[in-house]
Structure 1
């Protein structure tokens, strides 16, 4: 199969479009990405543009905002799968996010399985899948975020055969997703979604579909804090893996971990008021984490075994 290499002008245009996408879609990730060296930063933007576009296509939203029910979700996933397969094969797609993936995959020899694992997560959402158990929840978090962590690790120079470091990168993605789920319980409920495991709801004696009702709010807080605690464990594991990265990549990852970790911590701290207003991280807090991460990146990290309690991604 013919591999199409991007010319410099095409790549430059893709990088500009990808930068605009991350600024619009995630100020937290945009801030953290500035800490990378130039080449890694551009590749992170290119990968983000593809991830963001796929999520938006499936959810009928714009850069993560205004999610709505779509009647043809499974057909949309099929389109994403086809374009992604073409991009990973080196073919020009003619669609910015997928051509961005083509460029970054060619430059980093990105394993295709991680991209397809992410699309498997979109398929779960398209099928209106719901987690029954904690294991289901972590499997979902892997597909929609942990796989992205693995791709980012490869972009930052991690050997695709280094399973332990990839597990740590996956842990950070799972930590981010758990924070997202805990924060967005009310938003997800408005569009008919629930990622709180059914077994957890049963444990707390919360009837199906009633978890956002006022009588059950205190019980829901227990479950949100459970997610936040799990996110903290995954974040701690990821910090060990971050110590193996090049200096600037380590700085960026630690900043992102702190910024996003604050979301889970704030959800836990707000208790029953966690969903009154969407939890966000202020610009000052983001800059604070940039400074703290810079200091942390200079400190040695004890070599420890990965916590056996953590869910492990499929090989």
Structure 2
């Protein structure tokens, strides 16, 4: 155990939510971290467990026993990462197609996290030992920009921006078929496919999901679109484009089989914008299409 902390509530803090109050008393503890501790019984009030929305009362004795930081058993690996921006709080990296974002049981090497751990010694711990610093992710065979949190306060800010839908996330996709209208919005809930558990699908009981798109270029049998995410569901663009009848080219899960020679779906996270957690300044980054996708499009144009 880390050191135990005890406080007695005074008049000025009476009536405050325990998670909010604790994260203000100890600035290095983020609110979501405190909420996890409250749920796990690491925070007691008068020696009893409470809920995260408990409002502290005068003379309450609050005891916090932070859990031990578990050493990550994922190895740091030197990699040539394509870093677009980095400071003490955040890092923006351009992930190549074919790279998994974070380790999973049985697959603990070669991921972006392995490379990040070698590149920087400080990553947020909120998402647990397998996903340090990871705020959002993109699929293995999707390339493009990701934001990474280097401390818990940055992590919380970036997650809140994702929840509030204020992060700019624009993708370029090559889809089958010819979309006749220039602009569209797909508002259809996404959930796990009851018949194919490894896949997602549009389903009534799914989570709210919205994708805006506009056509960038039309080829003979394909269309190049820019998709802007309003929500960030698993496989959202891939599922939504299939749903309206224009599946992603090369998509092994949601597209027609082997129509083009390409290692996975032709999808690239090109634009990423967010408000910096510390400075409050809006920052936006753009990563051009990777060579493999450019080559594919050039070939189809000919």
TM-score (norm 1): 0.24
* Higher RCO, Cα 8 Å, sep 6+: 1
TM-score (norm 2): 0.24
Higher strand share: 2
Task: Specify the structure having the higher radius of gyration (Cα).
Answer: 2
Higher helix share: 1
